[in-house]
């Protein structure tokens, strides 16, 4: 029986035949953290083997809250260096800075005109952040943040009739933004003709929500109340070990997975399992009867073994900023080639008159 054609296997793996992957990360901290790494970045690295990849440092998103310009510049470079240090290969993947490709902001405007006010008001991340900051401290940019994210994704749409998927590796907290993106793509297609492929969220099982080491009920997040709950990728080994040894565990001494009664241990088991590639039941068996101390000590070593080489490579990349800038310029060029074409189609479909020559 002849095999059904598989659009992802044809054309001998050329980039043009592969599905696309697009994702972004904010340069709003001095380092990425373990939640970013397990929830998203590890998948970015893996997916470049099988996808045509576009990965951006989203500096436009970073200014939706008050910021310091010099710090933003520095963090954008450090963010890009970490992506490369983790294994994103600039020869295969476009690694770029969002503001280098102005079409992101342009498409965001068009999509914002298709978004209902009520629809945007229902975004839970906006509701949480604006509740913390109060109305006067909340920018309109923060309100329209998810629409800019939708533009980031949809700019890299494959041609709708090419049979290629568009995948977006993210943690659980981005699910609602991805749903909005699909809704906007559908709405645009319905009003103006098939233009966008609907993107698929790619959310890892098990590591989609890594929680704070001190408050296991809350997401690990750069805006956490205490740095003790966050493991930074660029953290020095000493403090990193200490944070893991001091992670909140629960009463008792059994290393067992129980989301309700043992949220702290459960989070550590998830981290261990994801980093080492060992199943949770196998870890439970390994640590049966040995108590929390040995378990945490070994976990700290696994985290260190993962992050030490990344830290060293990041620092090396930051030693030669000109080289880093060149890599980012190359990434922006590759991203622009796609973004410019998508925007030409969008302008034409929406009814904008072309500029005469
Ligand atoms: P950001 O910069 O907050 O986080 C980057 C990625 O890390 C994931 N993440 C986590 N995953 C598991 N556990 C955690 N504790 C944890 N904390 C963060 C996030 O889900 C995310 O995937 N809005 C996005 C940035 C963005 C974007 C895009 C993403 C802008 N445009 C286009 C995808 C596509 C954000 O704030 O990520």
Q: How confident is the model at residue 251 (pLDDT cuts 50, 70, 90)?
A: confident
Protein residue closest via CA to atom 6 of ligand 1: 36
- Segment 145-156 mean pLDDT: 98
Least confident of 105-109, 124-128, 320-324: 124-128
Give me the chain's average pLDDT, please. 94
3-state secondary structure labels for all residues of the chain: CCCCCCCCCCHHHCHHHCCEEEEEECCCCCCCEHHHHHHHHHHHHHHCCCCEEEEEECHHHHCCCCCCHHHHHHHHHHHHHHHHHHCCCCCCCEEEEHHHCCHHHHHHHHHHCCCCHHHHHCCHHHHHHHHHHCHHHCCHHHHHHHHHHHHHHHCCCCCHHHCCCEEEECCHHHHHHHHHHHHHHHHHHHHHCCCCCCCEEECCCCCCCCECCCCCCCECCCCCCCHHHCCECCCCHHHHHHHHHCCCCCCCCCCCCECCCEHHHHHHHHHHHHHHCCCHHHHHHHCCCCHHHHHHHHHHHHHHHHHHHHHHHHHHHHHCHHHHHHHHHHHHHHHHHHHHHHHHHHHHHHCCCCCCC
Per-residue pLDDT, 14: 67
Ligand 1 center from residue 285 Cα (angstroms): 33
Q: Provide mean pLDDT across the span 3-15.
A: 50
Q: Which domains are assigned to the chain?
A: 20-207+321-350 (3.40.50.620), 237-319 (1.10.240.10)
Name the phi and psi angles at 116, rounded to 5: -75, 150
The predicted structure's pLDDT at residue 70: 98
pLDDT band at 135 (very low <50, low <70, confident <90, very high): confident
Distance CA 230, CA 224 (A): 8
Cα 201 to Cα 186: distance, rounded to the nearest angstrom: 15
Query: 5 falls in which pLDDT band (50, 70, 90)?
Result: very low
Question: Both tokens of residue 228?
Answer: 């003790």
Residue 310's pLDDT is: 98
Q: State the pTM of this model.
A: 0.94
Q: Which atom of ligand 1 is closest in space to residue 28's alpha carbon?
A: 2
Q: Which of 77, 127, 129, 316 is catalytic?
A: 129
- How far apart (Å, rounded) are the C-alpha atoms in residues 213 and 242? 11
pLDDT at 2 over 90: no
- State the pLDDT at residue 250: 83
222 is catalytic: yes
Feature table: binding site = 26-28, 35-36, 152, 171-173, 210, 219-223
Q: Find the 182 Cα to ligand 1 centroid distance in Å.
A: 17
Model confidence band, residue 1 (pLDDT cutoffs 50, 70, 90): very low
In this structure, the residues whose C-beta lies within 6 A of any atom of ligand 1 are: 23-26, 35-36, 39-40, 58, 61, 149, 152-153, 168, 170-171, 173-174, 177, 208-210, 219-221
Atom of ligand 1 nearest to the CA of 207: 12
Q: Choose among 237, 216, 213, 241: nearest CA to 227.
A: 213
Q: Probe ligand 1: pick from 30, 34, 35, max atoms within 8 Å of CB? A: 35
Predicted confidence band of residue 13 (pLDDT cuts 50, 70, 90): low
Per-residue pLDDT averaged across 108-130, rounded?
A: 95
- pLDDT greater than 90 at residue 17: no
The answer for residues whose C-beta is within 8 angstroms of residue 119's C-beta and 6 or more apart is 180, 183
Q: Whose CA is nearest to atom 16 of ligand 1?
A: 35
* Digit-coded pLDDT (tens) for 287-307: 999 989 999 999 999 999 999
Ligand 1 centre to CA of 171 (Å) is 6
Known catalytic residue: 219?
yes
Is-contact 162 85, C-beta < 8 A? no
Å from CA of 169 to ligand 1 middle: 9
**Catalytic-labelled residue, pool 127, 209, 219, 316:** 219
């Amino acid at each position: 029986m002849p095999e059904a054609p598989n659009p992802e296997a044809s054309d001998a793996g050329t980039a043009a035949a592969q599905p696309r992957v697009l994702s972004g990360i904010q340069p709003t901290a001095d380092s990425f953290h373990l939640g970013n790494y397990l929830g998203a970045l590890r998948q970015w690295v893996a997916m470049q083997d099988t996808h045509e990849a576009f990965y951006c440092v989203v500096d436009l998103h970073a200014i939706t809250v008050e910021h310091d310009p010099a710090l933003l510049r520095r963090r954008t470079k450090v963010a890009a260096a970490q992506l490369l240090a983790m294994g994103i290969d600039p020869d295969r993947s476009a690694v770029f800075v969002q503001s280098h490709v102005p079409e992101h902001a342009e498409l965001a405007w068009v999509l914002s005109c298709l978004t209902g006010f009520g629809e945007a008001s229902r975004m839970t991340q906006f509701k949480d952040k604006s509740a913390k900051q109060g109305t006067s401290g909340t920018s309109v940019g923060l309100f329209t943040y998810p629409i800019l994210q939708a533009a980031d994704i949809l700019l890299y749409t494959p041609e709708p009739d090419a049979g290629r998927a568009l995948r977006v590796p993210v943690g659980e907290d981005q699910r609602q933004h991805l749903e909005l993106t699909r809704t906007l793509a559908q709405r645009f297609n319905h009003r103006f003709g098939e233009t966008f492929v609907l993107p698929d969220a790619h959310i890892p099982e098990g590591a989609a929500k890594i929680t704070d080491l001190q408050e296991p009920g809350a997401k690990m997040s750069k805006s956490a109340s205490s740095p003790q709950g966050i493991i930074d990728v660029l953290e020095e080994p000493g403090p990193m070990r200490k944070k893991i040894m001091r992670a909140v565990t629960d009463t008792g001494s059994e290393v067992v997975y129980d989301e309700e009664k043992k949220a702290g241990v459960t989070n550590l088991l998830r981290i261990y399992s994801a980093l080492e590639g060992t199943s949770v039941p196998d870890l439970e068996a390994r640590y049966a009867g040995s108590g929390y101390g040995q378990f945490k000590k070994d976990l700290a070593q696994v985290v260190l073994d993962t992050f030490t080489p990344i830290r060293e490579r990041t620092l090396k990349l930051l030693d030669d900023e000109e080289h880093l800038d060149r890599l980012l310029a190359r990434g922006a060029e590759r991203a622009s080639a796609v973004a410019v074409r998508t925007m030409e189609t969008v302008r034409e479909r929406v009814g904008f008159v072309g500029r005469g020559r």
